[in-house]
Amino acid sequence: MERPVDHTDADPDGGFLPWAAAMDRALYGPEGFFRRPTGPGAHFRTSVHASPLFGTAVLRLLREVDAALGHPDRLSLVDIGAGHAELLTGVLGQLGDDPLSRRLRPIAVELADRPAGLPDAIEWLPRPPKGVSGLIIANEWLDNVPCDVVELGRNGPRLVEVAPDGSERLADEPNDSQQAWLEHWWPTWRMGRIGDRAEIGLLRDAAWARAVEALDEGVAVAIDYAHAVDSRPPLGSLTGYAEGRQVPPIPDGRRDLTAHVALDACAAAAEHVADWSRRLDQRTALRRLGITGARPDLATAAADPIGYVRALSRASAAAELTDPAGLGRFTWLVQGVAVPTVSSLED
Ligand SMILES: C[S@@+](CC[C@H](N)C(=O)[O-])C[C@H]1O[C@@H](n2cnc3c(N)ncnc32)[C@H](O)[C@@H]1O
């Protein structure tokens, strides 16, 4: 996928840049956080790292898409923002020598280099291929697509610029397209108080639209911490993560920088290609795909102690993935192109 923001390395002004450009440099520049060979899994735990059950759910959805497409000769599973392709590797492992594995084209779309030791079957691309038939998954990708930050200052709305040490200053007014986005998608912000902030999702909208445009036929799913137009956070949500801890958002290349995603705006940006669209929380989505945190019946423990312990550990992994105070609160944006609706994700 194209780099979302152009930036120069010139540093005439203490290195201050608008947030989107600073984020782009800190995450994806030559010394950027996501260029490190350790991969994102060394710093935070996504649903993919939490349990193989997440891959089980994706595989179930993939089978459903496969059936809806009439079992094409080549079925793609495209993971955008794949990290170290842990999801694809897990799905391939679960498939084993299932006949679907002979038709499957697993594709990791990643800006970082391909890690050593991946199965040969996994293609590694910098942007989604054209003409995809199958399923596109983007787990915790869009929150890492850079966004600009605006703040209500004494003289009205101003773009926030940030230096590599994290110090900030208010700069220009947002441009026309930024203003239009804010008016439509973050309307409460203008009525807020001095110091209130909003995060402009234009680059995320464009990135998601390009992802859905890659589909000839199939389903695209974006999974992220999200907010909707009636519940935007008044101070924004930009933050940092390093070594498993939440840290201040400083664009120094040593931490993840992330902000929750206006997935309603992303959905609208892909409406010109999507035939249908829905949003649901991860707890509901995973339950519908057969992942529940229900504990096994204690009465089975005596007859089958190993089976009982396995079922208990599966239930506890499922509980983490569906926890309404944690990963279960993520939003799934699901959009379909030239495919009937996916029944397991229907209301
Ligand atoms: C938070 S990690 C998520 C990794 C994985 N999806 C998971 O759930 O564990 C985000 C990943 O998206 C990648 N990324 C960000 N922007 C991208 C783009 N435009 N194209 C491809 N990959 C991108 C980053 O390099 C990073 O590996």
**Ligand 1 centroid, distance to 81 Cα (angstroms):** 3
* Residue in 74, 54, 224 with CA at minimum distance from that of residue 135: 74
Number of the ligand 1 atom closest to the C-alpha atom of 143: 1
Average pLDDT value over all residues in the chain: 92
pLDDT of residue 329 exceeding 90, the answer is: yes
Mean local confidence (pLDDT), 229-243: 94
Q: 241: Cβ below 6 Å to ligand 1? A: no
Give the pLDDT confidence score for residue 2 in this predicted structure. 42
Most confident of 47-51, 110-114, 211-215: 211-215
Q: How far is the CA of 39 from the centre of ligand 1 (A)?
A: 10
Is the minimum distance from the CB of 268 to ligand 1 under 6 angstroms?
Answer: no
- Does 259 have pLDDT greater than 80? yes
Whether 318 has a pLDDT exceeding 70, the answer reads: yes
Tell me the percentage of the chain whose pLDDT exceeds 70.
95
- Which ligand 1 atom sits nearest the alpha carbon of residue 112? 25
Residue 276: is it exposed, middle or buried by C-beta count within 10 angstroms (0-12/13-18/19+)?
middle
Which residue puts its alpha carbon closest to atom 23 of ligand 1?
Answer: 81
pLDDT at 342: 82
For the segment 268-278, the average pLDDT, to the nearest whole number, is 97
Task: Answer yes or no: is the C-beta of 1 below 6 A from any ligand 1 atom.
Answer: yes
3-state secondary structure the chain: CCCCCCCCCCCCCCCCEEHHHHHHHHHHCCCCHHHCCCCHHHCCCCHHHHCCHHHHHHHHHHHHHHHHCCCCCCEEEEEECCCCCHHHHHHHHHHCCCCHHHHEEEEEECCCCCCCCCCCCCEEECCCCCCEEEEEEEECCHHHCCCEEEEEECCEEEEEEECCCCCEEECCCCCHHHHHHHHHHCHHHHHCCCCCEEEECHHHHHHHHHHHHCEEEEEEEEEECECCCCCCCCCCCCEEEECCEEECCCCCCCCEEECCECHHHHHHHCCCCCCEEEEEEHHHHHHHCCCCCCCCCHHHCCCCHHHHHHHHHHHHHHHHHHCCCCHHHCEEEEEEECCCCCHHHCC
Query: Measured in angstroms, how far is the CA atom of residue 144 from the centroid of ligand 1?
Result: 7
pLDDT at 293: 76
pLDDT for residue 45: 84
Residue 322 CB less than 6 A away from ligand 1: no
d(CA 28, CA 189): 29
C-alpha to C-alpha distances, 143 to 165, 224, 282, nearest whole angstrom: 22, 7, 16
Tell me what the mean pLDDT of segment 155-165 comes to: 95
Q: Band the pLDDT of 11: cuts 50, 70, 90.
A: low
pLDDT tens-digit series, residues 183-212? 999 998 777 899 999 999 999 999 999 999
What is the mean predicted confidence (pLDDT) over 159-176? 97
CATH fold of 40-145+202-291+328-337: Rossmann fold (3.40.50)
Task: Kindly report the backbone phi and psi dihedral angles of residue 259, in degrees, each rounded to the nearest multiple of 5, phi listed first.
Answer: -140, 140
* Over residues 64-90, mean pLDDT: 97
Q: Where along the chain do its domains lie?
A: 40-145+202-291+328-337
Task: Give the whole-number percent of the chain exceeding pLDDT 90.
Answer: 79
Residues 68/339, Cβ–Cβ less than 8 Å: yes
How does pLDDT run across 116-136, given as a tens digit for each residue?
999 999 999 999 999 999 999
Distance CA 146, CA 256 (A): 11
d(CA 285, CA 279): 9
Q: Identify whether the C-beta of residue 256 lies closer than 8 Å to the C-beta of residue 218.
A: no
Q: At residue 5, does pLDDT exceed 50?
A: no
Res. 6: pLDDT tops 70: no
**Choice from 141, 221, 282 to test ligand 1 binding pocket (greatest atom count within 8 A of CB):** 141
d(CA 3, CA 138): 17
Q: Is the shortest distance between the CB of 332 and ligand 1 below 6 Å? A: no
Ligand 1 contact, 89 CB (< 6 A): no
- For ligand 1, the distance from its centroid to the CA atom of residue 13, given in whole angstroms, is 30
48 lines ligand 1 (CB under 6 A): yes
The per-residue pLDDT for range 285-299, each reduced to its tens digit, is 999 999 987 788 888
Give the residue, by CA position, lying nearest to ligand 1 atom 8.
Answer: 139
Taking 70 as the threshold, does the pLDDT of residue 163 lie above it? yes
What is the model's pLDDT at position 12? Answer: 58
Q: Is the CB of 5 under 6 A from ligand 1?
A: no
